[in-house]
Chains A and B, each alone.
Chain A
Amino acid sequence: MEKMPRWADVVLIPLISLLLAAFISALVIIAIGEDPIAAVKLMINGALGSTYGWGYTLYYATNFIFTGLAVAVAFHARMFNIGGEGQAMLGGLGVAIACLYIPWPHWTVALLAAIVMSGLLGAAWAAIPAYLQAKRGSHIVITTIMFNFIAAGLLNYVLVNVMRPAGSMDPASAKFPEPTHLPTLHDMLTPLGISFSKAAPANVSLFVALIACVLVWLLIWRMKLGYEIRAQGHSESAAKYAGINPTRIIIISMLISGGLAGAMAINNVMGEAERLVMNATEGAGFIGIAVALMGRNHPFGVVLAAVLFGFLYQGGAELALWTDIPRELIVVIQALVILFTGALDNMVRMPLERIFLALRKERN
């Protein structure tokens, strides 16, 4: 007997969590003497009120879909991959290598190569913690966090000492050549007669992210490998009984996870910056954790949660731009959403379960 209907788990709990986060955020905004209603209006307008806003919201959402899927896949094997940030940084390096050193004839081939390279480097970055977990029992949470710092250090070194063009003062790679530039939503929608902001960074990577969602869904729920990943995640002792090799599943699921996080770089590095800069990931790897939690580790849920966080990012930026609400407070609001939807999930869940049980009893 389930404790409550599925719709309550999937829709009601996140919604209530969000409202609670919004309520506390409103209190904070009132406390610093601003008008919360006006702030919400500004966020909605800024993020969803124009194709420019949508362009940014979807751009951020694309990042979060990749990192959210990464966390979700690992989580099905009960691996908590906190290293999406580092893996995405390495993915950026992969994109830069693919775009800078090989003359591509057309962006389509360049994109394919960039996906492969970023995925490979992201996976490689996840491989070491995965190996340490599977063979040595080093906790994946600790090692992946540490690998985020190592990735930042490595990128710093590569940008300053290897990729920085001679004479430049900026720790960044050279601009990627023209044929590797990805079409933006503006480029893609204009031929269809739809006008879309030219300045917004959302690009073809969004569709790659959506394809990745479908592939992850097929993997987890339709393929033998996904079946084994889920079995291992639910019960390692049962998995062993069934002849599933835990080491293999831990490593493979982490490789897929790292590859997905790495592939995020086709959006932010290849699609937006068109060169590799320091801290290109902007915390998307960590947001992926909240996205996966809120999306219940389901690709479809991940898309919805990613769009929500894209909205928060873009709306937050607008707030910082147009009001006296400081940039730091935007981070507070985002943190509240993560806190309520992720960490405090049980706070909403328990009372709701009790209510549903009581309701069911009434009916009987």
Chain B
Amino acid sequence: MNATANKERPETAAPAIELRGISKAFGPVQANKDISIRVMPGTIHGIIGENGAGKSTLMSILYGFYKADAGEIFINGNKTEIPDSQAAIASGIGMVFQHFKLVPNFTVLENVVLGAEDGAMLRPTLAKARASLTEIAREYELHVDPDAIVEELSVGHQQRVEILKALYRQADILILDEPTGVLTPAEADQLFRILARLKEEGKTIILITHKLREIMEITDTVSVMRRGEMTATVKTSETSPEQLAELMVGRKVLLRVDKEAANPGETILVVKNLRQFDDQGVERLKGISLNLKAGEILGIAGVAGNGQSELLEVLGGYANATGEVTLKGNALPLSGSGANGRIRRESGIGHVPEDRQQEGLIMDFKAWENMAFGYHHAPEYQNGMLMDNAAIQKEALAKMERFDVRPPNPALNAKNFSGGNQQKIVVAREIENNPDVLLIGQPTRGVDIGAIEFIHQQIIQLRDEGKAILLVSVELDEIFSLSDRIAVMFDGQIMGERMPNETDEKELGLLMAGINEKAA
């Protein structure tokens, strides 16, 4: 058995994968409802849907992580039971997870054979794998140095290792779960070229994503999921992003953000030569300088992990740095007891953090407790020595209603809200406290389209009220549609600033990869 043998399958049109009537419930939550889907061999099939629509559950059933409550799976026309991932691999299914399952300090070769070792001795397996990788690399133009240490590879190459792992296990059907979330636009393009090549060679690919652009770009057919149900399967060439968005959300959606031209006032926030070293002594911020005017949105673009998080933490007051930050002419302390999130808020900087679950919210606190989080020293929340819980609850309810948090029940724990509604709680808290400057990181990560629309409107509205907004996002679409000015971060530095109407995705993509053509 090797990869080429599989090409000799008969040319009858049995679907590579067919799911019939798959249902799966977790307690009272029906994650998949009677889902049927046919994926034809040698095609790229997109599955699109909002967070929580049931895409990942469906794929987990296909990969043997969950057992469906009802329904049947057919692989190449044969009814197949997939009780665990071993069975899935044996049926020729390979999965590339959103978060890579790689051992960082192993070589590429070691990672590829991990879990597929033949005998007690490693050497023969490695030799065989090396030969096989050379073969695969030639066949699919998928080149990675087998002896490279995985943690030293770029994210794009790490993802290739995941694909290699699947191909080494003779996968014919490749499932990719949100594969472009961590890639630069250029890396995403390379990935798509690899996928196209794999398709040419007869592989079947299932692409799970929430990005409409990717679906339009590369898939042959697309299935839309909403609330656990498969709402439609259409040929990509016969649909449009607007139609898909409507199918995903169940109503008409504005994909473009409606906004007037910015009307920037005076400079509010000045950052000069900001430097930061992490615990390991690695320099994370290498002299960041920027300024922010009232009534404008400055978008910081960049691939995750290039210092954006550190920048937000320093400005938000909970990480130390050196350099100079002045807010309306007053220098802010960047270390010591004055560098404190609460004090920063009191001086007028609100902060919607990148990670709402780890930072923005206490998941085991009730919504009303979270609504005072970081503002719990405010005089209006005190009643002598005690906290005025009644006042906090009353305000929380009002804010939740204004920001359309569903369900508007302040007594529920934060963890019981969906991602979009959790984010609305954080956004409501920070905006309603009326900051001069709002730091906002990944405002719509893991947020459904309906809530994205709402949160974007709130950000624009805040700008129009004359507030200064620093937006950090890894989604270029979001940067383009919200920003009045764009700065690109790479490796702890600002690579350059552009006006959104004078640049394009290609130029920003190069800047994000550290290549400044104008400077060169």
| Residues of A near any B CB (own CB < 8 A) | 1-3, 218, 222-224, 227-228, 230-231, 234-235, 237-238, 240-245, 357, 360-361, 364
Check if B343 sits within 8 Å of A235, measured CB to CB: no
The reply to whether B342 and A242 contact each other, CB–CB distance below 8 Å, is yes
Contact residue among A2, A243, A245, A361 (Cβ-Cβ distance under 8 Å from B25): A361
Contacts A238-B359, A241-B353, A241-B360 given: A361-B28 contact, CB under 8 Å?
Answer: yes
Which residues of chain A are near B364, meaning CB under 8 Å? 234
Which A-B residue pairs are the 6 nearest by beta carbons?
A243-B342, A243-B341, A242-B374, A241-B359, A243-B340, A222-B386
> Please, how many angstroms separate the alpha-carbon atoms of A242 and B358 in the complex?
11
Chain A residues contacting B149 (CB-CB under 8 Å) are: none
Tell me which residues across on chain A come within 8 A of B341, comparing CB atoms. Answer: 240-244
Q: Which of A3, A231, A245 contacts B373 (CB 8 A)?
A: A231
Tell me how far the C-beta of B467 lies from the nearest C-beta in chain A, rounded to whole angstroms.
20
User: With contacts A222-B386, A222-B387, A242-B341 known, is A234 near B376, CB below 8 A?
Assistant: no
Return the CB mask of B156-189 against A: 1 if under 8 Å, else 0.
0000000000000000000000000000000000
Q: Are B318 and A235 in contact (CB under 8 A)?
A: no
Residues facing A in B351-393 (CB within 8 A) are 351, 353, 355, 358-365, 369, 373-374, 376-377, 382, 385-387, 389
Complex contacts, A227 vs chain B, CB 8 Å:
369, 376, 387
Q: A237-B358, A243-B345 are in contact. Are A357 and B27 (CB under 8 A)?
A: yes
Other-chain residue from B25, B316, B358, B376 in contact with A224 (beta carbon distance below 8 A): B376
Distance between Cα atoms of A234 and B386 in the complex (Å)? 21
Contact of B317 among A2, A3, A243, A361 (CB under 8 A): A243
Residue-wise, chain B 337-348 has the 8 Å CB interface mask toward A (1 for contact) of 100111111000
Q: Are B27 and A361 in contact (CB under 8 A)?
A: yes
Query: How far is the CB of A218 from the nearest CB of chain B, in Å?
Result: 7
User: Within residues 291 to 331 of chain B, which ones have a CB less than 8 A from any CB in chain A?
Assistant: 316-318
Establish whether residues A218 and B342, one from each chain, have CB atoms under 8 Å apart when the complex forms: no
Q: Are A242 and B373 in contact (CB under 8 A)?
A: yes
Chain A residues with Cβ below 8 Å from B282 are: none
Does the CB pair A238–B318 fall under 8 Å?
Answer: no
Additional pairs, 10, CB under 8 Å, beyond known A227-B376, A241-B359, A245-B340: A1-B29, A222-B389, A228-B376, A235-B358, A237-B358, A240-B318, A241-B374, A242-B342, A242-B373, A243-B344
Q: Nearest chain-B residue to A3 (Cβ)? A: B27
Query: With A223-B386, A243-B318 in contact, do A238 and B358 touch (Cβ < 8 Å)?
Result: yes
* Cα A238 to Cα B29 with chains together (Å): 28
Interface status of B416 (Cβ within 8 A of chain A): yes
A contacts with B: majority SS: helix
Closest to A241 in B: B359
In the bound complex, how far is the Cα of B391 from the Cα of A222, in angstroms? Answer: 13
Minimum CB–CB distance for A155 against chain B, Å? 36
Q: Is the CB of A223 within 8 A of B387?
A: yes
> What residues of chain A lie closer than 8 Å to B360, measured between beta carbons?
238, 241
Contact between chains at A234 and B365 (CB < 8 Å)? yes
- Minimum CB distance partner of B383 in chain A: A222
- CA of A238 to CA of B356, assembled, Å: 9
Task: Name, among B25, B337, B359, B361, the residue most crowded by chain A CB atoms within 10 Å (CB to CB).
Answer: B359
Chain A residues whose C-beta falls within 8 Å of the C-beta of B374 in the assembled complex: 241-243
Chain A residue at minimal CB-CB distance from B359: A241
Measured in the bound complex, the distance between the Cα atoms of B362 and A228 in whole Å is 11
> Chain A residues with Cβ under 8 A from B318's Cβ?
240-241, 243
The residues of A that contact B385 with a CB separation of less than 8 Å are 223
> From residue A46, how far is it (CB to closest CB) to chain B in Å?
41
- Name the contact of A1 in the complex, choosing from B28, B361, B382 (C-beta under 8 A): B28
A-chain residues with CB within 8 Å of residue B355 when the two chains form the complex: 237
Q: How far is the CA of A195 from the CA of B207 in the complex (A)?
A: 80
The answer for the CA separation of A135 and B337 in the assembled complex, in Å, is: 15
Residues of A with C-beta under 8 A to B353: 241
A337→B344 CA distance, assembly (Å): 49
Which of chain A's residues have a CB closer than 8 A to the CB of B342? 242-244
A235-B358, A238-B360 known; A243+B28 contact, CB < 8 A: no
Q: Is the CB of A234 within 8 A of B344?
A: no
